[in-house]
Amino acid sequence: MDVNPESEKKLFFHNYARLPIAVTHGEGVWLVSDDGTRYLDMISGIGVNALGYGDQRLVDAISSQAAKLIHASNLFMMEPQFELAAKLLSLSGFSKVFFANSGTEAIEAAIKIARKWAGLSGNHDKKEVLSLSNCFHGRTYGALSLTAKAKYSDGFDPLLPGTGMITFNDIADLEAQVSDKTAAVFIEVVQGEGGIHRVSQPFIDRLKELRERYQFLIIADEIQSGCGRTGTFFSYTQVNADPDLVCLAKPLGGGLPLSAVIGSEKVADVLSYGNHGTTFGGNPVACAAGIAMIKAIEEDNLMAHASEIGTFINNEVQKLAAKHPQILEIRQYGLMVGIMVDKEAKVYVGQALEKHVLINATSVNVIRLLPPLTISREEAQHCITTLDEIFTEETAEQAAAAERC
């Protein structure tokens, strides 16, 4: 089978802007294409591959469980599910877990839990679910209804009723939007697709005060920022957000489809038999991978490493900003890094690809870096050096063009 852009157009719906390379395998923090070219991966499967590629602990956990049982369904009790659930509850201090397959499924489950919880209050008008502007929560209808950008929702109306937006970090708008009708407010402590922005402490503090007044749930979307990427296992602990529900996915399954909704005691008894479910959620192989992934993060001190390397990248990009006017702002929380530039960032994605470095563009003009948590200082420096070369070459080309004019 030919794996190339022409075949891709013939075989698939045209919903992915794929890079023009066919990868065959990975080594550490490097992806290798079918022609043997090695690419430094500063995307990590869009924040999924926390351990990079080929971690033997992960491979062994997946192989061992696959040899025993790949699937049995949630009609049965399976040890990997129990072990991973217990670990997540230990890490969070919460009470209950629901496993699904993807981030958007976790968001959908959280919406249902919130509305069921609100309905039990006796206030039949308490159905409103709010999110923050510039957010991203997923592409299924409930998650899409909470996602801010028109580019994701245009053409798919009508969306889920009873949803709305609060302006990001705007306390006055927060106060105006929430009420006795509010069932839940979804937050990303660090907005990934939104360009690496963190919710402010005053906003969180006021949100918690209003929760006490109006009795709604705070739901933390940790799908991109969780599992150690920002330097702590959950990013919400850095702002004391004290959520009632937490959604995890992306790195949770070590590269296999897995997500989780973790609930506090407040919502522990909301769901009953048949209220919600999934055929594949909590798959034993994915759960075994999740256990190995969390153990590796802890054993290798990867949360502290993410903070250290993230700070290093920030410092080095600050040096680049001093000499390259293309860089307007740097935002960094652990190994979530956003570099705001003066044009569409996809221009630099293509130029970096030519130099065998994989970066990502988001929120139009933001270069987003989400490398594996295992990245070394030397590998991070390679990315910085490549960006330096790109900005330098661009400035030289602009100067040459000005001279020709």
Same-domain status, 241 and 306: no
- Residue 101: other Cβ atoms inside 10 A: 20
The Cα 376–Cα 191 span in angstroms is 25
Mean pLDDT (whole number) for 375-388: 98
The lowest-confidence range among 42-46, 157-161, 198-202 is 157-161
Same-domain status, 129 and 42: no
Domain end position, chosen among 257, 272, 299:
299
Same-domain status, 200 and 65: yes
pLDDT value at 255 more than 80: yes
The Cα 148–Cα 144 span in angstroms is 8
How many residues are listed for the chain in this entry? 405
Owner of token pair 């969306």: 159
pLDDT band at 312 (very low <50, low <70, confident <90, very high): very high
Owner of token pair 């924040």: 47
Same-domain status, 292 and 336: no
Same-domain status, 306 and 357: yes
pLDDT, the chain, mean: 96
The Cα 374–Cα 40 span in angstroms is 13
Owner of token pair 């009953």: 272
pLDDT band at 366 (very low <50, low <70, confident <90, very high): very high
* Segments forming the whole domain that contains residue 35: 5-54+301-404
Supply the pTM of this predicted model: 0.96
Residue 47 CA to its chain's centroid (Å): 6
The Cα 10–Cα 119 span in angstroms is 47
Same-domain status, 398 and 252: no
Same-domain status, 307 and 255: no
Mean pLDDT (whole number) for 366-395: 97
pLDDT band at 107 (very low <50, low <70, confident <90, very high): very high
Mean pLDDT (whole number) for 192-211: 97
Question: Tokens representing 136?
Answer: 């991203």
Domain end position, chosen among 264, 299, 334:
299
- Residue 353: other Cβ atoms inside 10 A: 15
The Cα 40–Cα 383 span in angstroms is 8
Alpha-carbon distance values, 130 to 74, 179, 188, 225, 267 (Å): 31, 11, 12, 20, 18
Same-domain status, 272 and 225: yes
Residue scoring higher pLDDT (2 or 67) = 67
pLDDT value at 185 more than 80: yes
- Which one, of 111, 154, 148, 138, lies nearest residue 46 by Cα? 138
CATH of the domain at 256: 3.40.640.10
Number of domains in the chain: 2
Same-domain status, 363 and 342: yes
Helix (H, G, I), strand (E, B) or coil at 244: coil
Q: What is the pLDDT of residues 7-20, one digit of tens each?
A: 888 899 988 888 99
pLDDT value at 186 more than 80: yes
Mean pLDDT (whole number) for 196-212: 98
pLDDT value at 5 more than 90: no
Q: pLDDT > 70: what percent of the chain?
A: 100
- Residue 404: per-residue pLDDT: 78
Question: Tokens representing 60?
Answer: 């062994």
CA quadruple 389, 44, 339, 381: dihedral sign? negative
- Residue 16: per-residue pLDDT: 87
CATH of the domain at 400: 3.90.1150.10
Which 8-state DSSP code applies to residue 28?
Answer: B
pLDDT value at 401 more than 80: no
Domain end position, chosen among 299, 324, 356:
299
Same-domain status, 203 and 106: yes
- Residue 160: per-residue pLDDT: 93
Q: What is the pLDDT of residues 335-348, one digit of tens each?
A: 999 999 999 999 99
Asked whether 191 and 237 are in contact (CB, 8 A), the reply is no
Q: Which amino acid is at 94?
A: F
Same-domain status, 173 and 40: no
Q: Which amino acid is at 31?
A: L
- Residue 105: per-residue pLDDT: 98
The Cα 253–Cα 49 span in angstroms is 9
Same-domain status, 76 and 9: no
pLDDT band at 148 (very low <50, low <70, confident <90, very high): confident
pLDDT band at 403 (very low <50, low <70, confident <90, very high): confident
pLDDT band at 219 (very low <50, low <70, confident <90, very high): very high
- Residue 391: per-residue pLDDT: 97
Mean pLDDT (whole number) for 368-397: 96
